[in-house]
Amino acid sequence: MTNKPRVFVTRRIHPEAEAKLAEAADVEFWQESTPPSKQTLLEKLPAINGLITMLSDPIDAEVIGAGVPDLKVIAQMAVGYDNIDITTATTNGIPVGHTPGVLTETTADFAWALMMAAARRVIEADNEVRGGRWQPWGPDVLTGMDVYGKTLGIIGLGRIGKAMARRARGFSMQVIYFDNHRDPEAEAELDVEYSPLGELLTRSDFVSIHLYYSPEVHHLFNRDRLSQMKSTAVLVNTARGAIVDPDALFEALQSGQIGAAGIDVFDPEPIPAGHPILKLKNLVITPHIASASKETRQKMAFMTVENILAGLNGQPLPYCANPQVYDSDRS
């Protein structure tokens, strides 16, 4: 027995970050690549002081409600934390850490890759070649859509949205954005123009979503919104799957209401095997890997460990999702 605090980690993170954590805590790592079940979490939580989570772990009121008096901190290895019931965590005096900032450029790189791949049919072309169908050069073989000089509509001008706007400059694109708050400083610095959502959808050749998920944006991209987009437009989503209604997206892609989509997130995740959308050639789809560069995942792991160690030591988390927890008497 040691007097070290006890930590449960719902996946392996990064060897060096794991070693740093193990110096200060008794750590149990979940060894599977799939998340622990809710039952497992309910069994582990009463005995631990710190919990490291991934965005695929549903940390709801049942998991962190009553019965976890010794739990001092949760540290999520992601910038988004919509899988965690922040209200319950705050009410119970539990600070929640996350990893803002470090994945901005990596995620924007990937959104850009999806946009290019969908516009220029990169995956479809690759499949043709691998399938033994390299057609001789022809004027209309696998023709796609130019990106250079087109109009990019950014939904959500936060860190990643701004990183997209910077990339767009190199492609001489006109950039318009929609957000709940106008950002005159960013408009001047990045040469981007604010546009109401409906107008953005009708003007954009590419629409890229960079919003935090909240119930207010659930299925924001529904049949109506998708029908306002150009028939050639490409929709890119690297934010959260539930911002786009999956049935409406399937219909819009299948009917040619929009040109193509490049998506890294889906509702639900993982996508059910055999989902009809997977048959569509005008869809490029990846399994929520926009932040998955080795360098970025290492930084995320270290930030997560910094957060958990601070919480275990009773210090404010350096990257805290619910700073209001420190205003509460219970903290």
- When asked if residue 84 is in the footprint of ligand DGY (CB under 6 A), the reply is no
| Annotated catalytic residue, options 11, 98, 240, 297 | 240
- When asked if residue 291 is in the footprint of ligand DGY (CB under 6 A), the reply is yes
Backbone angles phi, psi at 194, to 5 degrees: -70, 145
Q: What is the spatial distance between Cα 74 and Cα 29, in angstroms, rounded to a whole number? A: 15
Residue matched to tokens 């319950």: 88
57 vs 205 by CB, closer to ligand DGY: 57
Among 13, 51, 55, 236, binds ligand DGY (CB under 6 A): 55
- When asked if residue 243 is in the footprint of ligand DGY (CB under 6 A), the reply is no
In angstroms, what CA-CA distances link 246 with 108, 133, 174, 253? 22, 31, 28, 11
Site for ligand DGY in 103-142 (CB under 6 A): 103
Tell me if residue 269 is catalytic.
yes
Tokens of 83: 């899988």
Shortest CB 223 distance to ligand DGY, Å: 25
- 177 strand-pairing partners: 154, 194
Sign of CA dihedral 122, 123, 128, 132: positive
Among 52, 59, 79, 284, binds ligand DGY (CB under 6 A): 79
Among 5, 35, 36, 80, binds ligand DGY (CB under 6 A): 80
25 vs 103 by CB, closer to ligand DGY: 103
- When asked if residue 160 is in the footprint of ligand DGY (CB under 6 A), the reply is no
176 vs 239 by CB, closer to ligand DGY: 239
145 vs 289 by CB, closer to ligand DGY: 289
**In this structure, are residues 168 and 207 in contact, taking their beta carbons and an 8 Å threshold?**
no
Q: For the beta carbon of residue 183, count every other beta carbon within 10 angstroms.
A: 17
**In this structure, are residues 87 and 59 in contact, taking their beta carbons and an 8 Å threshold?**
no
Q: Which stretch binds ligand DGY (CB under 6 A): 10-18, 78-86, 194-202, 323-331?
A: 78-86
- When asked if residue 78 is in the footprint of ligand DGY (CB under 6 A), the reply is yes
Q: Which stretch binds ligand DGY (CB under 6 A): 59-67, 75-83, 138-146, 266-274?
A: 75-83
In angstroms, what CA-CA distances link 84 with 52, 57, 60, 102? 12, 8, 6, 20
**In this structure, are residues 176 and 200 in contact, taking their beta carbons and an 8 Å threshold?**
yes
Q: How many residues does the chain have?
A: 331
- When asked if residue 303 is in the footprint of ligand DGY (CB under 6 A), the reply is no
| Separation of CA 295 from chain center | 17
| Annotated catalytic residue, options 218, 219, 269, 275 | 269
Tell me if residue 288 is catalytic.
yes
Backbone angles phi, psi at 260, to 5 degrees: -165, 170
| Annotated catalytic residue, options 11, 121, 288, 297 | 288
Q: What is the spatial distance between Cα 197 and Cα 101, in angstroms, rounded to a whole number? A: 26
Tell me if residue 218 is catalytic.
no
- When asked if residue 74 is in the footprint of ligand DGY (CB under 6 A), the reply is no
Site residues (vs ligand DGY, CB under 6 A): 55, 78-80, 103, 291
Active site residues: 240, 269, 288
